[in-house]
Structures are given as C-alpha cells and as structure tokens.
Amino acid sequence: MRIHAFAAELAEIVRQTNAATKEAVQASIDGNAAKALAALDGGGGKIIEDADRGTRFAAIAGDYAALDKAARAKTLVIEPSREGRDALTAKIRDALAKSGALTGPTIATQSLANKGLTRAETRLPNSYDKGDIVRFTRDYAAKGVSRGAAYRVESVDPGKSAITLKSENGHAVDWRLRQWGTGHVQAFAPQALELKAGDSIRFTRNDRETGRINGARGEIVGIDVQARTAVIQNSRGQTQSLNLDSVRDQHIAHAYVETAFAAEGRTADPVLIHADSRATNLIDQKSFYVGISRAKESVAKYTNDRAKLVSAISERSGQLQTAMAHIESPVSTPFNSMGAMLG
C-alpha cells in the first residue's frame, strides 16, 4: 500500500467523538495493541473474552439485537472470515427474529456471490461449477453472447476446456476457454439466502438500469411468498420490487456483518468486532487499526484470548510499521486538511 494511503488513514482519527476511543485509535496507529485495548477498557468500549466461538457470536448477536432500529443502522459488525460472517449473520438473524425485528413469512432464494477469479483462474475449467452464473463484459456476437447477460453453467468438460452455458431464454452457448471470453468474464456462485420482512440487505453488483450500486443498502419491507417477490426500501424511503427468481435480482446479500477491508471508508457509532487470535492470515495491525478507527463512539472486541490477541497483532505488525517509519509526523498540515474533508 502506498504511503499516502496511510496518511489518509491517520487523518481519520478526527472522526472519534469519544476521547478514550480516540486514544485507542492512536495506540493502534502506534502499533501498541495492549494500550489500545486498555483505552477501550477505560471508556472507549469493552473487551469480551471467551474461548468458545459460538458463545462469542451469541454475545455479538445479543448486543446487536438489543439495539433499537435506528441504532442498528449506525452500528458496524466486523468478522474477518467468509465462513465466520455467514455463521455470525445466522446468529444475528435468529436474535432479531426472537426480538420481533424480523417478522412474517420466510422466503428462500439464492444470492449470487462473485467468485473473484483472477485472470489466470478464468482460463481454468475447474474454476467453474455447475449452477454458477457467468457474465461477459463485452459482446461476442458470433457466439450469440451479449455483454452483461447472465449465463448459467450447465456442464464442464475439463479435458476439452469447454463449458456449456445457457442463457435465461434457453439459448445454449459452447464456451471454449482456450479460444475466447476468459479475459472478459465474471463468475458468480449461488448461495442459499433466506429473507424476512425487516432484513437488512445490500446489493452486490452495479446495475445502471435499476439504479443499484454495489454496496448500497436497504431493508426488506414486504414479502409475497406466492409471487416470489420482495420489496426493498432504501434510507431515503424509495422502494424497489425484487423478483427473487430473476438472476438480475439475486445480486444481494444480508448486510449485517462485514470484513475490515469492506468496512474501510465507513463510519459507525458503535463497532462490534470479532477477533480470534488464531486467525493468523486475517488478524494483523492493519485490520486491528481499521476496525477500531471506524467507530465514532465505542468499540466492543470479542476475542478468544486478550493476551494472545495482543501477541498475534504485535507479531504481524511489520508491514504497517515499515510504512509508518517513513511518515515524519501524523499531525502535519496536509493530514489535518485531509482529515477536515473526511470528518
């Protein structure tokens, strides 16, 4: 990451309205995780320790569900792993249903998650599974392929590097990976998704025609099980109807839990962070800083072991420390100017 990116992050310390939380953010910048956690203890939030992940998730879900609707909209929940996000989301939705925040019938559909294939991976037949959805970012008229249209993977032939696709209107496409298309394709994996009235969701793909923006959020305010539709309302009160059997409307996901990476640039009043010290490739000084610095008021850390978390963060602090060594002063005039804009 370039040095000026760290300068921008340093400027974000102006967002904290709680002095103890601000102290925790500064300590995280300095690479002192122990001091940051002590600042949370001193009025910037709280530290919850429990060896059992299920118990920690239940605590996060309970704390989140105990907030009123307005407070939940200003709350950020962070969990670094994909599997953990799914499990924590399920816990949160169970808690919300018990509290009465989720109501009415449940409708089952699917969510299309971007597989995030690299350029090299798009050329490999084993990167695709039956049922995946692919979209090409340019037309291939001679193949009968239109830019942006959805094509379902019907079968994969690894020996021939060939995939049979089918469009939504039933048109079959013989896709030869060695010949065309792999440089201009996105692949999406279907995942089970349940929705109830009151659910918070986000769009996961830009769609210019419908005015949908990747990451934009809304609330499910109505469900018609027979028609297989759901109505979503954004923060401005505008509504859209989703056809849950349409591929176009399946680029959605629950919006309760995020990674630290996805949370960058966001501001929340309280932030609830799950941090398992054993997640060696997911917990480091950078993610620790980003999570804490999203909060305006308070931070709650839920961890298996406080001392081990501090040790783990310290051991993996090299990258940020190296970059920080090149920054003479975190409070120089350019950073303050940027902070004024970000704040």
CB 274 within 8 A of CB 300: no
Adjacent-strand bridge partners of 219? 200, 233
Would you say the pTM of this structure is higher than 0.75? yes
* CA-closest candidate to residue 12, choices 281, 230, 293: 293
- The tens digit of pLDDT for each residue in 39-89 reads 999 999 999 999 999 999 999 999 999 999 999 999 999 999 989 999 999
**What pLDDT sits at residue 279?**
85
* Residue at token pair 């692919």: 134
CATH no., domain 114-188: 2.30.30.30
* CA-closest candidate to residue 222, choices 245, 239, 247: 239
Domain ranges of the chain: 3-80+259-342, 103-108+194-254, 114-188
Q: How far apart are CA 3 and CA 124, in angstroms?
A: 36
H or E segment and range at residue 230: strand 229-233
* Residue at token pair 């993977």: 153
* Residue at token pair 């009465």: 100
**What pLDDT sits at residue 50?**
97
Tell me if domain 3-80+259-342 and domain 103-108+194-254 are identical in fold. no
* CA-closest candidate to residue 235, choices 193, 268, 272, 202: 202
Strand pairing report for 268-275 and 295-303: parallel
CATH architecture of structural domain 103-108+194-254: Roll (2.30)
* CA-closest candidate to residue 78, choices 266, 215, 220: 266
Q: How far is CA 185 from CA 23, 124, 323, in A?
A: 46, 12, 35
Task: Locate 136 and state its tokens.
Answer: 């090409």
**For 212, which DSSP code?**
B
What CATH class has 3-80+259-342?
alpha beta
Which stretches of the chain drop beneath a pLDDT of 70?
Answer: 1-14, 316-343
Task: Locate 113 and state its tokens.
Answer: 């998650």
